[in-house]
Structure 1
Amino acid sequence: MKPDPAAPADPLNLLRQQLILAQVRIMELEDVRDELAPQVARLEKLLAEAQTLADAKTDEAAHLERVRAALQAEFDHLRHVQHVTNEALNAARAEAGNLATRERSLLSEIEHLHLLTRQLAETERQQLTRLDELQQSLASAQSEISARQARISELDAEQRAMKAARSWRWTAWLRSLERTFGGKP
């Protein structure tokens, strides 16, 4: 068998070159990990802020629901008042002018209440739309975090597999010699 002319003559040099290439790859992987760590932290912070905002919007929606219930109770009360007023109108036709003024006042209040109810419904719709947007943003951020965490796990597994390889263990003494006799630390 003829020796390969492209291969270095000294197997030790070949092994050193391979070791250096492996170390360079490890450093590159560590650099990638270090670059991804701040981004993951930033995304986790963004996720926490989004959760806080979602909680605040949920509280606002609950508050709006309580306000709507109070307005509905007020509306029901005003309906009852209107009914009582109509009965009093039928009973006291002699006071027609005075009752007409009261009726107009009640109708104005009911219209105002209807206006408030419509405004409340619009505000509630806007809050729910905003909440949906925030939930979509949160889902997007969570999927990106999951993908990045999977990549980090993959890189860590690759590094562990390389260090657990038989060739890595068998060449430990060469790396030790390299560090001892003038190689790079």
Structure 2
Amino acid sequence: MNRERMKELAEAQFAERQAATQIIHAADDFDKLQINERSYKLVVNYRDAYDDEKLAARFSEFLEKYNFIVGDIAADQLRLRGFYNKGITGIPRNQQITALEDYLYEEVNFGAPYFVLENLEPHEVQEDIDTNEGPKRRHRSRRGSNSSKNKGAAVKESQRPAQNKKPNAGKNPEVKVKGTRKKRHFEVRDRKTDKPAAKKGK
């Protein structure tokens, strides 16, 4: 797919989302608006970041569960993030509106335009559950994969039931292993040769 075709598809998707989202402002106050027949209030509009067209293209029904929606613009693209009211039990602090300043410092470009919409009618949104639960891939970590196999083998070896064997019944002598880990120990030995060692000159 070439670049022109991708651009056309992106523009078509942008127009489709805009058509699906309906935004109506109150006649007497621009800051009061309705998005898909739900009431919102524009609380903050830093550097005139709010734009009906961009919001309509990015808005999703999923955002209707949040008490606040924050939109920031970077590279002429709008990003939306939802926040809950302060003090709701079971909601982490970084998802509450009190964490807005932290979010702006850490996630938003310095000085970037942003806006905050207050949702006056938040409601529970049913999240789509994937019904296609096919076989899932398992991802293996390359790090430490050999060591885990060796540990498992060592554990299995130590858990085997003892068999009744007569000591020294075969040709091989009995070998006793202490512990469950197998470690190699190397010993450096002097080489034995048939020739006598040459004498060093005085």
Normalised by the shorter chain, which TM-score bucket? under 0.3
Higher strand residue share: 2
Q: Report which structure shows greater RCO (CA 8 Å, sep ≥6).
A: 1
Larger radius of gyration: 1
User: TM-score of the superposition, structure 1-length normalised?
Assistant: 0.18
Higher helix residue share: 1
User: TM-score of the superposition, structure 2-length normalised?
Assistant: 0.17
